[in-house]
Amino acid sequence: MTDDLALLGGVPLHPHPWPSWPIWDHRDEEAVLRALRSGHWGRLTGPEVSAFEEEFALFQECRFGVAVPCGTVALKLALLALDIQAGDEVIVPPYTFVATVGAVIQCNAVPVFVDIHPDSYCLDPSRVAEAITPRTRAIIAVHLGGLPADLEKLCAFGLPVIEDASHAHGSIYKGRKVGGIGTLGCFSFQASKNLNCGEGGIVLTNDEALAAAVRAQSSWGEGSSGQILGSNFRMTELQGALLRTQLARLPEQAAQRDSNGRLLDSLLKGLPGIRPLPREALGCDRHAYHLYSFRYDQDVWGLPRGVFIDAMRAEGIPVDPGYATPLYEWPVFTNRRFGPWNGSMEGYASSENHRAHCPVMERVSQKEGCWIKQSALLAPPEEVQLIAKAIEKTWGKRADLARLL
Ligand SMILES: Cc1ncc(COP(=O)(O)O)c(C=O)c1O
């Protein structure tokens, strides 16, 4: 029967592949060849990385950019530029990729986990106040999936704010592009990201002295007259050249994701037991939609989230459950074995953070959170509409799924 659930032998609603990622053509090939043929493969002698730094900073409406090999290093150098020292505390959300928190550990500093807001899945400013101590030196705000964190309230604490904008290329918060609203902004250009060159990252800032400090950290003290040791975290020219052509495509792709995300919001709003995250109320004017997140209410559906996701995948809709385990429950955090970064272990153990408990995060990771990756939003709107149709179909047949339990 055509209206049977695909999971139970019916016909999938979306049997075709979604747009593949990355997207490239002869322009990207020519750019990489241009860098290759120039013989200048490193930033110190070639023009590509410097040009990309300027172009991306301009795109994000920020003054300075320092390109680095990945988003993890971007976060680490942002922390070093702020002179974060061993034992300093840095407030972080637990609902993020491990790199956000790992960068803090790698500075021998102490991550302090603060719960996320149930509407945004980003750091909840109302919980930040109670986590601030005399040792708190910075806040890392992750714009999860591209939805901006509440930067107005987070910046009002008067502490340096690092924006982890790894998911948020082009996102606009209250009329301003993210990345330059906090003290420093960090982006990843890893293969899955909305702007990518395989692996890469950048630190943005409007503060000239901080930009100089990041540059020095990224290139063995470059420009610091021997005051900063640093290391070699320079991007290569081949990556810089590729990022420039990829960046030229980003505005159009970003507009398409944003418009398809709005379409999905409008279609999902009326469905039972499904709630999109309320972007307008959160001050989000442009959503990068690295992830299209929505909330699944398993009590309304009478089905565990895993069964709903299996049914959606069988229909050809690529739904994921998101980050499954709070980072503070990972064995490496409960055992506090940070290998070469054991300098932070003492602070971590004594700060009680290993006993962090973030009820919103736990509900989202265990029952509620669902997301669809960015490339699906590059499909034509008629296909994107099938996501809502598949949810409706699954809702209509949920009794058949319940019988499987
Ligand atoms: C939220 C977040 N922060 C940081 C990173 C680290 O970026 P990279 O993989 O480029 O080191 C990622 C990458 O997946 C991420 O998703």
Could you tell me where the beta strands, DSSP code E, fall in 25-135?
A: 64-68, 89-92, 110-113
**Is residue 51 packed enough to be buried (19+ CB in 10 Å), middle (13-18) or exposed (0-12)?**
middle
326 lines ligand 1 (CB under 6 A): no
How far is the centre of ligand 1, averaged over its atoms, from the C-alpha of 144 (Å)?
11
Can you give the pLDDT at residue 400?
A: 96
How far is the centre of ligand 1, averaged over its atoms, from the C-alpha of 54 (Å)?
22
Q: Locate the ligand 1 atom nearest the alpha carbon of residue 96 and give its number.
A: 1
265 lines ligand 1 (CB under 6 A): no
DSSP state of 115: P
Can you give the pLDDT at residue 346?
A: 66
Ligand 1 pocket, mutate which of 72, 162, 171, 197 (most atoms under 8 A from CB): 72
Tell me how far apart the alpha carbons of residues 145 and 151 are, in angstroms, rounded to a whole number.
15
93 lines ligand 1 (CB under 6 A): no
CA contacts within 13 A on the Cβ side of 168: 27
How far is the centre of ligand 1, averaged over its atoms, from the C-alpha of 187 (Å)?
8
How far is the centre of ligand 1, averaged over its atoms, from the C-alpha of 270 (Å)?
33
239 lines ligand 1 (CB under 6 A): no
Q: Locate the ligand 1 atom nearest the alpha carbon of residue 189 and give its number.
A: 10
What is the domain class of 26-246 according to CATH?
A: alpha beta
Name 380's Cβ contacts closer than 8 Å, sequence gap at least 6: none
DSSP state of 149: P
Strand order of the sheet with strand 89-92? 64-68, 201-205, 184-188, 161-164, 136-142, 89-92, 110-113
Domain ranges of the chain: 26-246
Which residue has its alpha carbon closest to ligand 1 atom 7?
71
Tell me how far apart the alpha carbons of residues 316 and 314 are, in angstroms, rounded to a whole number.
5
User: How many CB atoms within 10 Å of residue 213?
Assistant: 26
Q: How do the pLDDT tens digits run along the chain, 405 residues long?
A: 568 999 999 999 999 999 999 999 999 999 999 999 999 999 999 999 999 999 999 999 999 999 999 999 999 999 999 999 998 999 999 999 999 999 999 999 999 999 999 999 999 999 999 999 999 999 999 999 999 999 999 999 999 999 999 999 999 999 999 999 999 999 999 999 999 999 999 999 999 999 999 999 999 999 999 999 999 999 999 999 999 999 999 999 999 999 999 999 999 999 999 999 999 999 999 999 999 999 999 999 999 999 999 999 999 999 999 998 999 999 888 888 888 887 666 666 555 554 578 999 999 999 999 999 999 999 999 999 999 999 999 999 999 999 988
How far is the centre of ligand 1, averaged over its atoms, from the C-alpha of 72 (Å)?
6
Can you give the pLDDT at residue 368?
A: 97
How far is the centre of ligand 1, averaged over its atoms, from the C-alpha of 71 (Å)?
5
**Structure tokens given for 16:** 């075709």
142 lines ligand 1 (CB under 6 A): yes
Please state the φ and ψ torsions of residue 132, each to the nearest 5 degrees: -80, 130
Strands 89-92 and 110-113: parallel
163 lines ligand 1 (CB under 6 A): no
